[in-house]
Chains A and B, each alone.
Chain A
Amino acid sequence: MSKEFSVVGPKIYATIHTGIPILGDINITETLVVTWIVMLIITGLCIFLTRDLKMENISKRQAFAEMLVEMGNNFVRNNTGGTKFDKLIPFVSALFVTSVVSNLISLIGLRSPTADLSTEAAWAIVVFIMITSTKIKTNGLGGYLKGFTTPIAVMTPFNILSELATPVSMACRHFGNILSGVVIDGLIYWALGLASSALLGLIPGVVGNFLSKIPILGVGLPAITGVYFDWFSGCMQAFIFCMLTVMYIANAAEEG
C-alpha cells in the first residue's frame, strides 16, 4: 500500500498532433473513451427496450420503456407548464441519462466522464446557447441586449456576469459533486487499505507480509458510503442539471 494518496485526472490514451494554435493536440482521454462506452450502453439499452413493441398485452420491458418516456415527457411538461417545449424532451432525457450513467459507471471501476470538467463544460455551453437563443427568440436581439441594462444601466456588468455565471455554476456544481465522490471514495479505499495493511502486518513472517497487501477492510464500508457519494449524488446531480436546464429555458421563454 502506498503511503501517499493522490487523485489524478483522466488518463490520456493517445495524442494526435494537429498543430492548430489554440485548440492544441487532440487527446483521446479516458473521459472520451468512457463516454463512448456510456453512449453504447445507453443506445444498446434503448434498442433492447424498444424491441418488438406491441399495442396490447405489452411486455414488462416495453412497459418500462414507456414509463421512461412518460417520465421524460412529464418532467419537461410539468416544469415548463405545457407542451410548448416538447422538442426539448429528447435533449433533456439524453442529458439526464448520459449524466446518470456516466456518474454511476464509476461503480464498475471505470472513471466517470463527469469527473472531467470538460464534459460538464460542454453540456453547460450547449445549455447556455439554448438559453440565450431562446431569450433572443422571445425578446428579439434588441430586447435581449436591453435586458442587460435593467433595472439601471450601471448594472450591466453584473448582469453580464450573472448571465455567464449560469453555465459556469451548472458545470462546476456537477463536476464538483462527482469529483468529490471520486476523491472521497479514493480516500476511503486508501485509508482502509492502510488500516488493513497495518492490522494484518501485525502477523509476523511471510504470511503477514502477504496478507498485509490485501486491503481486506476495503470490503463493506465503501459500499455503504457509496450509496451516498456515488448513487445519491450521481442521480441528484443529473437531476439538478436537467432541472436547471429546463427551468432556465422555460424562464428564458417567459421574459417579456
Chain B
Amino acid sequence: MGIQALLAFAASNETQDLVTVGPWTLIFQICNLFIQVHLIKKYLFKPINDILEKRQNLADKAIKEAREAKEEADSLKDQYESSLTNAHSEAAQIVSDAQKEAQVKADAMVHEAQKEAADIKARAAADIEQEKKKAINEAKDEIGGLAMDIAGKVVEKEINENDHKKLIEDFISKVGA
C-alpha cells in the first residue's frame, strides 16, 4: 500500500525515479538558478535600489537644505538681535546726549541769566549811585547858591561869588560827609 509504494521506485517509461538526481536536470537547475539570480537582480533589485538611493539622496538634500536654511535664519536672527541691541543702546546714547546737552544749555542759560541779572543789578546800583551823586551835587549847588543868596541877603552886600565859593563848598562837603 502507501508506504510500500513510497519506498519502491516508480519504474516507468513515463516518469523519473522518485528519489534520484538526474545529471542533466541538476545542470539545468544550476543554470536556472543563475538565470533567476540575474533576472531578479536586473528586474527587481537594480531598479528598486536605484530608486531607494535616489530617494535617499533627495531626503539628504532636503535635510541639508533645511539645515542650511535654519543656520541662515539663525544668523539673521542674531544679526537682527544685535542690530536691535545696537539700536537700543544708540537710542539711549542719543537720549542721554540730548539730556546732557540740554542740561549744559540750561545751565548756560541760567548762568547767563544770573550774570545778566547781576549786571543789570550792578548797573542799576551804579546808576543809582550816579543819580545819587548827581542829586547830591545838585543839592550842593542848590544849597551853595541858596547859602550865598541867604548870606548876600544877610550881609546886604554883594559878595563876590567866586571868592567865597570855595569857602561854601568846603562847608557843604563837611556837612555832606
Contacts and interface: CB of A to CB of B under 8 A. Distances in A.
User: SS class of chain B's interface: helix, strand, loop or mixed?
Assistant: helix
B45 to A, nearest CB: 5
Interface string A173-211: 001000100010001001000000000000000000000
B175 to A, nearest CB: 125
B21 A117 contact: yes
User: SS class of chain A's interface: helix, strand, loop or mixed?
Assistant: helix
Interface stretch (B33-41, B131-139, B159-167): B33-41
Interface residues of A, number: 61
Interface in B1-48: 1-2, 5-6, 8-10, 12-30, 32-37, 39-41, 43-45, 47-48
Nearest to B17: A9
Contact of B5 (A5, A25, A54, A66): A5
A218 interface: no
A39 B51 contact: no
Nearest to B28: A32
Contacts of A69: 44-45, 48-49, 52
Given A4-B1, A126-B30, A39 B39 contact: yes
Interface string A36-79: 10010011001101100111100000100110111010000000
B52 A39 contact: no
Contacts of B52: 66, 69-70
Given A7-B18, A66-B52, A94-B37, A118 B5 contact: no
Contact of B25 (A29, A50, A175): A29
A46 B24 contact: no
B14 to A, nearest CB: 6
A27 B47 contact: no
A84 B45 CA distance: 17
Given A12-B14, A47-B43, A119 B25 contact: yes
B70 interface: no
Nearest to B45: A90
**Which residue, of B6, B21, B40, has the highest number of chain A Cβ atoms within 10 A?**
B40
Nearest to B37: A94
Given A7-B5, A118-B25, A55 B18 contact: no
Interface in B53-106: 54-55, 58
Interface of B: 1-2, 5-6, 8-10, 12-30, 32-37, 39-41, 43-45, 47-49, 51-52, 54-55, 58
Interface of A: 4-12, 22-27, 29, 31-32, 35-36, 39, 42-43, 46-47, 49-50, 53-56, 62, 65-66, 68-70, 72, 89-91, 93-95, 97-98, 113, 116-119, 121-123, 125-126, 175, 179, 183, 187, 190
8 contacts: A9-B16, A9-B17, A25-B24, A32-B32, A43-B43, A50-B48, A69-B49, A117-B21
